[in-house]
Structure 1
Amino acid sequence: MSELNELLKELINRVDGLIGIVLTDRDGIVITSVSQDEHSTELIETLPLTSTYSLVSDQANKMGLGRSEILVSKFDNFQLVQFNYTEFFLNLISDEVNNIGILMDLKPELNSITDLISNLVKEVNPEEGEEEIENN
């Protein structure tokens, strides 16, 4: 997990206006988070991150729109870009004046990080089919 946190912290330091990154499971439970400073940490801890995104994504899918990949939200004091991956959500929190397009353009770079995350998730929760094969 420390390797992941280092990669996320490096991203925060490199991207102007990015104040926090939060990795959550499908239910909105925080797996890990990194932030720019103590004030950012307090902001991140108060966000009802993906529980809402999960509901919106499910409803859009039920309406025949397909699976949502990215949700962008703008608030008074910050902006939120949420990337939907199969097992988890990756949430980027930026200041209120940051260019959202720059954050959305990070997706290819984030894919390499999410490969690491997927491997960590599989180590913690191996698929049931793989367990059955190993047990036989």
Structure 2
Amino acid sequence: MKLINSVDGLLAIAVTDRDGVPLLKGSTDQVPELALRPNFLSTFGTAIEQANKIGFQQSKSFICLYQNYQVVQINKTPVVLTFIADSNTNTGLLLNLEADMKDIINEVSKVVSTS
């Protein structure tokens, strides 16, 4: 919650495996309920597969902007980091949160890679 409160408009943070299964997550009451479900969180893995099929190199991140929200997903193999925010939230600040979460991601990645 400390990280969520550090960026105005950030509604949720989720660390998932490539299939969208949440390993860690934190959210405010304003986040859309469906945005934290595995079928939505797994879109990153699907998008990477499709991008690779048409010749793009391995993607590091995807940024999706909707009318009211934005979703930033960052590939930190073997996990995916997802930020859900208001559409007017500074996207650069969301991308910079990756560095703030480095220790957490490393610990979770160790567990995922050994399972």
Q: Normalization by structure 2: what TM-score?
A: 0.83
**Structure 2 unaligned regions, length at least 5:** none
Give the Cα separation in 1 of the matches to 2:96 and 2:64: 16
Q: Distance in 2 between matches of 1:76 and 1:99?
A: 15
Instruction: For structure 1, list consecutive stretches of 5 or more residues without a partner in the other structure.
Output: 1-8, 126-136
Q: How large is the Cα RMSD of the aligned pairs?
A: 2.1
Percent of aligned pairs with the same amino acid = 36
Deviation beyond 4 Å, 4+ runs, structure 1 = none
| Structure whose alpha-carbon radius of gyration is higher | 1
Aligned length: 115
Q: Higher helix fraction: Structure 1 or Structure 2?
A: 1
Higher RCO (Cα < 8 Å, 6 or more apart): 2
Q: Which has the higher strand share?
A: 2
Determine which of 46, 57, 63 is the counterpart of 1:55. Answer: 46
Residues 40-119 of structure 1 aligned to structure 2 (within 5 Å): 40=31, 42-45=33-36, 48-119=39-110
Q: Confirm or deny: 8 A CA contact 1:26 1:51 kept in the other structure.
A: yes
TM-score (norm 1): 0.72
